[in-house]
Structure formats: C-alpha cells, structure tokens
Amino acid sequence: MRLSELQKGMCGKIIAIDSEPVLKSRFSSFGIVKGAIVSVLEQTLSKNTIEIKVQNTKIAIRISEAETIEIENSQC
C-alpha cells in the first residue's frame, strides 16, 4: 500500500521509500524513514497535498511524493 492511499486518521509503518536520492534525503531530514509510523492528518480539497504526522512533526507533502512511500497498516 502507498502512503497516498492512506485515509485521513489512519496510520501506517513505512517499509520502503522508492524515490530519487534528493527526495529521499529530504524525507529523511523530516524523519520520514523506514520503520517510522506516519499518520494522515488532512487532505486538501484538490487532493494534491496531504498533511502527515511523523513522530512529533507535521509535514505537508504532494500526493506524487506520497506515492513513492510504501507502507503497511499500523495502529496509531
């Protein structure tokens, strides 16, 4: 399952990130790394961007970026 498919209020555990090294490095700086638990807080009306929470950090990322993050369902 991809992070982009996760519904608002649900959580997932990151199992892989399939992005370019520059984007992967940016994700890493926010704590978006393999094994991290991520939850979806909000989704824009246009469904282009989602707000996620990783550890205690809230981040807005594009859906196209969220599609590069593979997750498995997890409890919040």
**DSSP structural state of residue 67:** T
Contact 8, 34 (CB under 8 A): no
Dihedral angle, C-alpha 70, 36, 4, 19, nearest 10 °: -50
**DSSP structural state of residue 7:** P
Domain ranges (residues) in the chain: 3-73
- As a whole-number percent, the residues of the chain with pLDDT over 70 amount to 100
Confidence of residue 1 (pLDDT cuts 50, 70, 90): very high
Q: What is the pTM of this model?
A: 0.89
| Domain at 3-73, CATH homologous superfamily | Ferrous iron transport protein A (FeoA) (2.30.30.90)
